Amino acid sequence: MGRFEGREPPEPVEYEPASVKDLLVEMKDTAELLIDLSYSAVLHGSPTVAEEVLALENKMDVLQMRARMSLMLAARNPDEAEKLAPVLGVVSGADKVSDAAGDIAKIVLEEIGLPDAMRGALSEGVETLVRGTVAADSDYADRTLQAIDLESETGVRVIAIRRDDDWILNPGPETRIEAADVMLLRGPETAVSEVYPELTGEPFDPSPPAEPAIDDLERAVDSIVLMKNLSELAVDLAYGSVLFDNEELADEVTNLEVEVDALQSRFEAWTLRAAKEADDPVALRGLIHLGVATEEISDAALEITEGVLRDLGVHPVVEMAVQESDEIITRTTVREGSDLAGTEVVDGVPATDISTSVLAIRRPEEGWLVGPDIDTTLRVGDVVISKGTRTSAEEFERLSG
């Protein structure tokens, strides 16, 4: 079957003068949103969210084509080609993340099948993400996000808005909400259940999670949730490594990719064992499909880091993109005698005066702790992946010893 068989043919793309920096930033934001949306589509069995994924995937195809055109024109000599080669890796990696997200969305659209237990496990592994259309009589219509103060008041974040065919990614305080906007909300389910009706005028009715009835299936499901979390983290770290020319972050992407590969091997074994006991083994097709696509996301993250790992340097176009980033991702090792040793981390927030959040911890002999709900005490030898302002990152590193 051809790549576009059964689909609308791709739209023609002509060269348009564009900032490579702006294209890179938009591709990064789109790739991260696609991961969120694709898993949300599976979690809620939502064809409408899955359709949004495919629409964004088409947008990503156009972005990567325009980025390639601009980069080809920019490479005027061998020296420029060498400096721009890593940027092509970023473009290609983002496009592969997009393709993998599209494959995940097709689990829903093509009714490939997925065990109910998978949705139950995902509901515990991710925050609730829903798609809602702003009602004409909503209290949120014709107001800015700053005026609504949604995140401070409820803990629910607006991660993207689609207005007709245009997307507003990472909307800011001055973004005004309009009636008929399609909004993507993420946050705790209890908070989303209060915000959603006020936004859309419709009730919020999530499906209750199901429990696995087969032990091997439960192990497979747990593996895929961890693979998802590690692959998402790998994408975050990959962009961080490129934007900040940080080889330590790139090394962690390599560690994550190896871990995801190992998890996929175990996941496949448990899924095959579960098939012997399942009433309908064909229903496990979607689970295998999800595992393959999730592993491809970690591979794409590794491709993004290739220029950093090969010490090719950072092109000025990437340095310009860095200047737009208010937050940075850092890797900190807790050393002997460090002020961080013994520090409690509750819901991903360390008990320090520094405003930072812990994305993950790699602990010797135990592996990775990943997610916004990390509850632990930091130990000597822990490798801490955190996100915060440049100032807080420097202070956090100073505490490490």
pLDDT of residue 308: 83
In tens, the pLDDT along 249-297 reads 899 999 999 999 999 988 888 888 877 777 777 777 888 888 899 999 9
Instruction: Locate all alpha helices (DSSP H) within 45-115, ordered by sequence.
Output: 47-74, 78-109
Tokens of 213: 């009835």
Give pLDDT, residue 212. Answer: 47
pLDDT band (50, 70, 90) for residue 98: very high
Instruction: Count CA within 13 A, CB hemisphere, residue 170.
Output: 11
Calculate mean pLDDT across residues 183-192: 82
- pLDDT for position 1: 38
pLDDT confidence of residue 296 = 94
- Give the Cα separation of 293 and 52 in Å (integer): 18
Highest mean pLDDT among 80-89, 216-225, 230-239, 351-360: 230-239
Q: Does pLDDT of 5 surpass 70?
A: no
Q: Which residue has better confidence, 326 or 139?
A: 139
- Lowest mean pLDDT: which of 87-91, 95-99, 204-208, 298-302? 204-208
> What's residue 257's pLDDT?
93
* Residue pair 243/325 in contact by the 8 Å Cβ criterion: yes
Residue 227 pLDDT class (50, 70, 90 cuts) = confident
The predicted model scores a pTM of 0.73
Whether residue 115 is predicted with pLDDT greater than 70 in this model: the reply is no
pLDDT at 101 over 90: yes
118 vs 157 pLDDT, higher one: 157
> How many other C-beta atoms lie within 10 A of the C-beta of residue 395?
16
Strand order in the sheet with 367-370: 328-333, 383-388, 356-363, 367-370
* Bridge partners, residue 330, by sequence: 386
Per-residue pLDDT at 155 exceeds 90: no
- Per-residue pLDDT band for 177 (boundaries 50, 70, 90) equals very high
For residues 144-166, give the mean pLDDT. Answer: 84
What per-residue confidence (pLDDT) applies to 180?
92
pLDDT at 346: 85
Higher-confidence position of 152 and 327: 152
Query: Of 97-101, 124-128, 390-394, which one has max mean pLDDT?
Result: 97-101
Condensed to tens digits (0 to 9), the pLDDT of residues 124-138 reads 545 677 788 999 999
Of 103-112, 240-249, 392-401, highest mean pLDDT: 103-112
Q: What is the pLDDT of residues 44-94, one digit of tens each?
A: 777 888 888 998 899 899 888 888 888 887 777 787 777 777 788 888 898
- The pLDDT tens digits of the residues spanning 194-226 come to 899 999 999 887 655 544 455 667 777 778 888
Go through the chain and tell me how many residues it has.
401
Is the pLDDT at 191 greater than 90? The verdict is: no
Output 167 or 322, whichever has higher pLDDT: 167
